[in-house]
Structure 1
Amino acid sequence: MDNGGNESILETYLYETNTLLEQLDSIVLAAEQADTFTENDVNEIFRIMHTIKGASAMMEYESLTTVAHRIEDMFFIVRERSMDVIPHAEHGLLFDMMFTAIDFFRGEVEKVQSGQPLSDDIGKLLEKINSLIAKIQGEAETAGAAGSAPSAQPAAAPVPGTEPGFPYGLRVFFDEGAGMENLRAFMLVTELRGICGEENFTFSPADVETDTSTTETIVTQGFVLFFRMAADRTGAIHVVSGSGSVRGYQTFDGPTAPAQEETKRTAPAAEAVRHAEQKSTVSAPKAAREEASPVKSAAAAPAPAQAGGAHPKESLISVNLSKLNQLMDVVGEIVITESMVTASPDLKGMKLDNFTKSARQLRKLTDELQDVSMSLRMVPVLGTFQKMQRIVRDMGKKLGKRARLTLVGEDTEVDKTIVDGIGDPLMHIVRNAMDHGIEETEEERIAAGKDPEGEIILSASHTGGEVIIQVKDDGRGVDYDRVLKKAVDAGLASPDAEYSSKEIINFLLMPGFSTNTEVTEFSGRGVGMDVVKKNVEEVGGAVVLTSEPGKGMTATLKIPLTMAILDGMEVSVGSSIFTIPINNIRQSFKMSGADIIHDAAHGEMVKVMNNFYSVIRVKDVYGLSTGCDEIEDGILMWVESGECTYCLFVDELMGEQQVVVKPLPNYINTFNIKQHGITGCTILGDGNISVILDVANLYSAIQ
Structure 2
Amino acid sequence: MSNNDILDMYIYETNTLLEQLESIVLDAEKENTFSQDNVNEIFRIMHTIKGSSAMMEFDTLARVSHRIEDMFFLIREGTMSVVKDEDRPALFDVMLHSVDYFREEMEKVEAEQPLNEDVGSFLENINSLIAKIKGEEIPAEPAPKAAAPAAAAAPAAPAPAPAQTTEGSAEFPYGLRVFFDEGCGMENLRAFMLVTSVQGFCADADFTYQPAGVETDSSLSETVVEHGFLLQFRSEEDRARAVPIVMTAGSVHSYEEQNYAPPAPPAAAPAPAAQEAAPAVQKAPAAPAAQPAAASAQHQGQGGQKESLISVGLSKLDQLSAIVGEIVITEAMVTASPDLKGLHLDAFSKSARQLRKLTDELQDVSMSLRMIPVSNTFQKMNRIVRDMCKKLNKQVKLTLVGENTEVDKTIVDSIGDPIMHMVRNSMDHGIEESVEERIAAGKDPVGEILLSAQDTGSEVIIQISDDGAGVNDEAVLAKAIRNGIASPDVEYSHKEILNFLMAPGFSTNQQVTEFSGRGVGMDVVKSGVESLGGSVSITSEQGRGMTTIMRIPLTMAIMDGMEVSVGSSIFTIPINNIRSSIKLTEADILHDSVNGEMVKMLDGYYPVIRAKDFYNLPGGAEKIEEGILMWLESGDCSYCLFVDELLGEQQIVVKPLPAYVNNFDIKNYGITGCSILGDGNISIILDAGGLYAAARNI
- The answer to whether TM tops 0.5 is yes
Aligned to 1:463: 456
1:87 equivalenced with 2:106 (yes/no): no
The separation in 1 between residues aligned to 2:541 and 2:225, in whole angstroms, is 70
1:15 equivalenced with 2:8 (yes/no): no
TM-score, normalization: structure 1?
0.82
More deviation, 66-75/256-265: 256-265
- Output the amino acid matched with 2:24: I
**2:515 maps to which of 498, 519, 522:** 522
CA distances 1:523-581 after superposition (whole Å, capped 9, x unpaired):
11221111100000000111111111111111111111111100011111111110011
The separation in 2 between residues aligned to 1:330 and 1:688, in whole angstroms, is 19
Aligned to 1:176: none
1:482 Cα deviation after fit: 0.9
Query: Structure 1 residues 637, 452: CA separation in 2 closer, same or farther (over 3 Å shift)?
Result: same
The separation in 2 between residues aligned to 1:633 and 1:83, in whole angstroms, is 78
Query: Structure 1 residues 182, 681: CA separation in 2 closer, same or farther (over 3 Å shift)?
Result: farther
**2:651 maps to which of 625, 647, 658:** 658
After superposition, residues 288-687 of structure 1 pair within 5 angstroms as 310-687=303-680
Aligned to 1:286: none
1:199 Cα deviation after fit: 12
Query: Structure 1 residues 576, 111: CA separation in 2 closer, same or farther (over 3 Å shift)?
Result: same
Aligned to 2:132: 135
Are the counterparts in 2 of residues 536 and 542 from structure 1 also a CA contact under 8 Å?
Answer: yes
The separation in 1 between residues aligned to 2:590 and 2:579, in whole angstroms, is 21
The separation in 1 between residues aligned to 2:382 and 2:177, in whole angstroms, is 38
Query: Structure 1 residues 663, 162: CA separation in 2 closer, same or farther (over 3 Å shift)?
Result: closer
The separation in 2 between residues aligned to 1:461 and 1:245, in whole angstroms, is 40
1:188 Cα deviation after fit: 3.1
Secondary structure in structure 1 of the residue aligned to 2:347? helix
Identity %: 60
Q: What RMSD, in angstroms, separates the aligned Cα atoms of the two structures?
A: 3.8
Are the counterparts in 1 of residues 669 and 694 from structure 2 also a CA contact under 8 Å?
Answer: yes
CA distances 1:39-74 after superposition (whole Å, capped 9, x unpaired):
111111111111111111111111111111110111
Are the counterparts in 2 of residues 166 and 226 from structure 1 also a CA contact under 8 Å?
Answer: no
Aligned to 1:225: 230
- Output the amino acid matched with 2:393: G
1:152 equivalenced with 2:155 (yes/no): yes
Secondary structure in structure 1 of the residue aligned to 2:66? helix
- Output the amino acid matched with 2:540: S
**1:194 maps to which of 213, 219, 224:** 213
CA distances 1:279-307 after superposition (whole Å, capped 9, x unpaired):
xxxxxxxxxxxxxxxxxxxxxx9xx98x9
Are the counterparts in 2 of residues 160 and 200 from structure 1 also a CA contact under 8 Å?
Answer: no
1:21 Cα deviation after fit: 0.7
Number of residue pairs aligned between Structure 1 and Structure 2:
629
- Output the amino acid matched with 2:72: F
Query: Structure 1 residues 339, 550: CA separation in 2 closer, same or farther (over 3 Å shift)?
Result: same
The separation in 2 between residues aligned to 1:339 and 1:551, in whole angstroms, is 52
- Output the amino acid matched with 1:16: E
Aligned to 2:74: 77
Query: Structure 1 residues 92, 608: CA separation in 2 closer, same or farther (over 3 Å shift)?
Result: same
1:46 equivalenced with 2:49 (yes/no): no
- Output the amino acid matched with 1:135: K
The separation in 1 between residues aligned to 2:411 and 2:229, in whole angstroms, is 45
Gaps of 5+ in 1: 141-148, 174-179, 209-222, 267-274, 278-300
Are the counterparts in 1 of residues 164 and 212 from structure 2 also a CA contact under 8 Å?
Answer: no
Secondary structure in structure 2 of the residue aligned to 1:526? coil
1:613 Cα deviation after fit: 1.0
TM-score, normalization: structure 2?
0.83
Aligned to 2:146: none
Query: Structure 1 residues 170, 396: CA separation in 2 closer, same or farther (over 3 Å shift)?
Result: farther
Aligned to 1:30: 27
Aligned to 2:61: 64
- Output the amino acid matched with 1:584: N
Are the counterparts in 2 of residues 155 and 195 from structure 1 also a CA contact under 8 Å?
Answer: no
More deviation, 629-638/195-204: 195-204
CA distances 1:191-215 after superposition (whole Å, capped 9, x unpaired):
874279979999998479xxxxxxx
- Output the amino acid matched with 1:620: D
1:335 Cα deviation after fit: 0.4
1:5 Cα deviation after fit: 1.5
- Output the amino acid matched with 2:532: V
Which structure features the higher share of helix residues? 1
1:76 Cα deviation after fit: 1.2
The separation in 2 between residues aligned to 1:336 and 1:197, in whole angstroms, is 57
1:113 Cα deviation after fit: 1.3
The separation in 2 between residues aligned to 1:366 and 1:481, in whole angstroms, is 55
The separation in 1 between residues aligned to 2:522 and 2:658, in whole angstroms, is 29
1:135 Cα deviation after fit: 1.2
CA distances 1:385-438 after superposition (whole Å, capped 9, x unpaired):
000000000111111111111100000111111111110000000000000111
1:693 equivalenced with 2:686 (yes/no): yes
